[in-house]
Structures are given as C-alpha cells and as structure tokens.
C-alpha cells in the first residue's frame, strides 16, 4: 500500500530508518526560516517508480533518493542536470512548474564543498580515488570540473577502465594499478569503496602513500572513526576526515535546488556530531 504523505519533501530508500536527512533538513528549515516539511519513505525494492509518481502527483515538491534507487531515479527523471548525466545517477528530484521531474546529483558538489571547507583540496591537485562503483562515479565529475587530476584504483580493473573512458571527456583522469601507486604523488586520497572491512586491500594502497597527504572517506561513522580512517590513522595519517560534511553539503545543495537558499553547514555538522 502506498504511503499517504503529509510532507512536501521526503527521502526515498531501502533501508531508510537510519537516515539523518529529516533531521538535517529540519535544521536547515529552522536556520533559514523556510517552511520545509521533510520525512522519509521506505520503498519496497520493486516499487520505486510507483512511489515517486504517486508522491509527485499529490503533494510532493522535492525528493532525495538513496540506496539502492539512485540509478532508477536517473532513468525516470524527465530532465537531467550535467552532474546527473555524468554520474548516471540521481539523488535529488524536483517537480518543475510544468509538472516535469528534474533529476540532479548533489553528491559531487557536496564532496567538493566539504573538501574546500576543510582546505583539503586545490585546483590541479593529484587525487587518488579508491573504488569505481556508483559512489566514485558520483564524485568524479566535480573533481575533474574543479581542475584536479584524478587517478582511479580499483580491485576490478575492467570497471576502472570503463569509468575512466566514461569520464575522460571531462578532464584529466587515469587508471593507476596498486603496484604503481608508489611512483605517483597524491595530495588527496578519497575512499569511495562500499565495503567497510577491506583492511588488507586498503593496506596494499595506503602504505605506499605519503602520510602527509589528506585522507577523506565518503562514509561516516557515528561514534568512532570509519574503518578506512582507522586504518589510515594506524599508518600515520595526519590530516583526515570522514564524509559527514559531504552528507550535510549534498543536502544543502538539494535544499538550494528546491528553495534557492544555501544553508550554512558548519553549525549543522556541529549539531550532528554532538548528537
Ligand atoms: P557503490 O554504489 O556504493 O559505489 P558499488 O557500485 O557496488 O557500490 O561499488 C563498490 C566499490 O567498492 C567498488 O569499487 C568495489 O570494487 P569492485 O569494482 O572490484 O567490486 C569496491 N569493493 C567492494 N568490496 C571490496 C573488497 N572486498 N575489496 C576491494 N574493493 C571492494
């Protein structure tokens, strides 16, 4: 049975009960004074299209989309931004005044905003991205557009080749094998892999990297460091961050798409850490 929404905004996913998005958007609403009712929707795996159509047919104005529906959201969008087109995935939907649904991907904008906020990134930096799945695809367009040289290392080489071929029209992007990492110099390392327990794989990469580089995990953890960051810290990394700031920044870009106001994010990150 389809859920009857009382909110004009919602995040759709499965699972979804862990989501921090309603709290983040509540803080944005409080901070900006923009009325913004936002809840969450658990979607059965085969019912995403049905739920979205129903939501926008009635009171829906904007939606966020999370695992595992981002590719499906890309397919059902009537119009797409450049970020959505390049990543082939959508995490933000907006009902336009003509009734068509616009799909955007704010993950890449969110990570770039957070990396700049942390002063972890400069134009022309060499950035090593670990992983070549959906999460990596979500962030690479922004890194290339900013002017970075992106290097991709991935367990399955064919996936890395496909990713590099898809993105090379946007900037300077290369595959790097694990054994060649020691011959390159990276300013920033981004973990975009999904598995939280990959210690031996990360070790084979991290011990070859200058510990003065910046280390960023797109994942975040509530109570402690993420597994990836724990591993980097053991190795001697000095400058590191998890992806909580990316989470808040990508939400801020969604809010901006819907309301035309970009919320201040530091206080929201502070509230989430305190929680
Ligand atoms: P997501 O959409 O979250 O990125 P995904 O598309 O399944 O999920 O991609 C997961 C990424 O984590 C991939 O880069 C994957 O490597 P493969 O392409 O070789 O599968 C990586 N990954 C997952 N488990 C891994 C493991 N045990 N060791 C190394 N890489 C792993």
Quick: pLDDT tens for 210-227: 999 999 999 998 878 999
Q: From the CB of 138, is ligand 1 less than 6 Å away?
A: no
Nearest CA to ligand 1 atom 6: 133
Indicate the top mutation candidate among 158, 194, 228 to test ligand 1's pocket, ranked by most ligand atoms within 8 A of CB: 194
Q: From the CB of 134, is ligand 1 less than 6 Å away?
A: yes
pLDDT above 70: residue 7: yes
- Residue 146 is predicted with a pLDDT of 98
Contact 178, 209 (CB under 8 A): no
**Residue 118 CB neighbours (<10 A):** 14
Contact 73, 93 (CB under 8 A): yes
Burial class (CB in 10 A: 0-12, 13-18, 19+), 145: middle
Residue (of 64, 75, 61) closest to 110 by Cα position = 64
Residue (of 203, 192, 197, 206) closest to 243 by Cα position = 192
pLDDT above 60: residue 165: yes
- Residue 40 is predicted with a pLDDT of 97
Indicate the top mutation candidate among 91, 130, 193, 197 to test ligand 1's pocket, ranked by most ligand atoms within 8 A of CB: 193
Quick one: pLDDT band at residue 4, thresholds 50, 70, 90?
low
Indicate the top mutation candidate among 105, 133, 163 to test ligand 1's pocket, ranked by most ligand atoms within 8 A of CB: 133
pTM: 0.94
pLDDT above 80: residue 6: no
Q: From the CB of 159, is ligand 1 less than 6 Å away?
A: yes
Nearest CA to ligand 1 atom 26: 198
- 128 strand-pairing partners: 151, 189
Lowest mean pLDDT of 29-38, 188-197, 246-255, name the range: 188-197
Q: From the CB of 243, is ligand 1 less than 6 Å away?
A: no
d(CA 77, CA 104): 9
The tokens for 66 are: 């999370």
d(CA 257, CA 90): 13
Residues that are catalytic: 70
Tokens 């939907």 -> residue: 93
**Residue 186 CB neighbours (<10 A):** 20
Q: From the CB of 196, is ligand 1 less than 6 Å away?
A: no
Cα separations (Å) of 112 from 174, 211, 246?
19, 22, 8
Residues 235-271 have pLDDT tens digits of 999 999 999 999 999 999 999 999 999 999 999 999 9
């Amino acid at each position: 049975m389809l859920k009857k929404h009382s909110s004009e905004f919602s995040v759709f996913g499965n699972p979804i009960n862990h989501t921090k998005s309603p709290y983040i958007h509540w803080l944005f609403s409080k901070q900006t004074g923009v009325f913004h009712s936002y809840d969450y929707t658990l979607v059965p795996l085969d019912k995403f299209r049905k739920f979205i159509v129903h939501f926008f047919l009635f009171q829906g104005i904007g939606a966020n989309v999370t695992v595992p529906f981002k590719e499906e959201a890309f397919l059902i969008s009537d119009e797409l931004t450049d970020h959505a087109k390049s990543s082939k995935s959508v995490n933000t939907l907006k009902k336009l005044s003509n009734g068509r649904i616009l799909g955007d991907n704010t993950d890449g904008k969110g990570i770039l905003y957070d990396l700049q906020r942390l002063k972890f990134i400069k134009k022309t930096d060499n950035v090593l991205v670990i992983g070549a799945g959906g999460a990596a695809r979500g962030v690479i367009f922004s890194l290339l557009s900013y002017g970075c040289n992106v290097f991709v290392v991935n367990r399955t080489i064919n996936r890395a080749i496909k990713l590099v071929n898809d993105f090379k029209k946007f900037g300077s992007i290369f595959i790097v094998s694990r054994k060649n990492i020691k011959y390159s110099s990276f300013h920033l390392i981004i973990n975009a892999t999904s598995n939280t327990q990959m210690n031996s794989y990360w070790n084979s990469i991290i011990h070859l990297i200058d510990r003065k580089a910046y280390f960023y995990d797109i994942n975040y953890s509530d109570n402690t460091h993420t597994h990836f960051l724990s591993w980097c810290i053991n190795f001697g990394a000095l400058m590191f961050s998890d992806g909580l700031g990316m989470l808040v920044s990508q939400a801020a870009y969604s809010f901006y798409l819907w309301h035309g106001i970009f919320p201040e994010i530091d206080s929201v990150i502070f509230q989430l850490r305190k929680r």
